[in-house]
Amino acid sequence: MPRRPVSLELGMATYIAKKHLLERKEMFPFTLMLEPLELCNLACSGCGRIQEYKDVFDKRLTVEQCLQAAEDCGAPIVNIPGGEPLIHKQIGEIVQGIIDQGRFVYLCTNGILMDRAFEKITAQKRFAFVVHIDGMESVHDQAVDRAGVFKKATAHMREAIARGYRVCTNTTIFRGTQPQEYVDLFVHLKEMGVEGCITSPGFDYASVTDQHQFLARTEAQEAA
């Protein structure tokens, strides 16, 4: 897999040293989780956000609000999850504004709208796509309840990598999926040129009907 930018590691080391040595602080943020909107273009069976956040689907943070939040937090890394942040019409301005503050941006996406982002966000070391991929084609498309998403997302990932973008992935592990599925997936992603892969057990939203799909705490610990 491609190596993370050296500037990221140096930036983090400098930030930590400054907080510890110069400001004498023991607790400080590493990452800001910034959600410009909650709306998503998928309705995954394992995601309770589509129920629990439906009252705020029409709301958006402005560019100014996002930049101020990043400035107030001061963290060197800003993670932009959702919903699907690429739905936000000003996402390019938000991303570039945060980068211009000297921060790194990781933008989470299901990959469907990535091709639109190529015109709004330039490829640079301080920016990375984090594409949600829950397995190989059949497993992933079942997880997101829509056929064809795996092919579209991975096609956009390949194009992004060819264009010089940094691309990472995020995988949610649900009960019932065989371990070999993830072995095959991570081999596939490595061969594609993905920079890094994050994995986590599915968050057990109370509003999701099928609670059996979520790993219990002990199962998640054993999987790790």
Per-residue pLDDT tens digits for 178-193: 889 999 999 999 999 9
pLDDT for 215 beyond 80? no
Other beta carbons within 10 angstroms of residue 174's beta carbon come to 19
- What's the confidence (pLDDT) of residue 136? 97
Number of domains in the chain: 1
Asked, for residue 202, whether it belongs to a domain, the answer is yes
> Of 165, 73, 180, 177, whose CA–CA distance to 127 is shortest?
165
Asked, for residue 37, whether it belongs to a domain, the answer is yes
- What's the confidence (pLDDT) of residue 48? 62
Asked, for residue 152, whether it belongs to a domain, the answer is yes
Asked, for residue 215, whether it belongs to a domain, the answer is yes
- What's the confidence (pLDDT) of residue 16? 92
CATH number for the domain harbouring residue 181: 3.20.20.70
User: What is the sign, positive or negative, of the torsion defined by CA atoms of 94, 65, 32, 49?
Assistant: negative
pLDDT for 220 beyond 50? no
Asked, for residue 214, whether it belongs to a domain, the answer is yes
Asked, for residue 70, whether it belongs to a domain, the answer is yes
Q: What is the pLDDT of residues 42-83, one digit of tens each?
A: 987 777 666 777 788 889 999 999 999 999 999 999 999 988
pLDDT for 210 beyond 70? no
Residue type, 214: F
**What gap in Å lies between CA 40 and CA 216, rounded to an integer?**
26
More confident residue, 82 or 206: 82
Average pLDDT, the chain: 88
- What's the confidence (pLDDT) of residue 8? 93
**What gap in Å lies between CA 26 and CA 164, rounded to an integer?**
37
Residue 171, CB-side half-sphere exposure with 13 Å CA sphere: 24
CA distances from 31 to 37, 70, 140, 190 (A): 18, 10, 28, 25
What DSSP element (H or E) covers 106?
strand 104-109
| Domain membership of residue 50 as a residue range | 6-223
Residue 78 CA to chain centroid, in angstroms?
11
Asked, for residue 1, whether it belongs to a domain, the answer is no
Residue type, 129: F
More confident residue, 212 or 157: 157
- What's the confidence (pLDDT) of residue 217? 44
- What's the confidence (pLDDT) of residue 157? 98
- What's the confidence (pLDDT) of residue 100? 98
Is 5 within 8 Å of 123 (Cβ atoms)?
Answer: no
pLDDT for 144 beyond 50? yes
pLDDT for 224 beyond 60? no
pLDDT for 117 beyond 90? yes
Asked, for residue 164, whether it belongs to a domain, the answer is yes
- Residue 203 token pair: 């968050």
Mean pLDDT (whole number) for 138-166 = 96
- What's the confidence (pLDDT) of residue 206? 53
Contacts of residue 14, Cβ cutoff 8 Å, sequence gap at least 6:
none
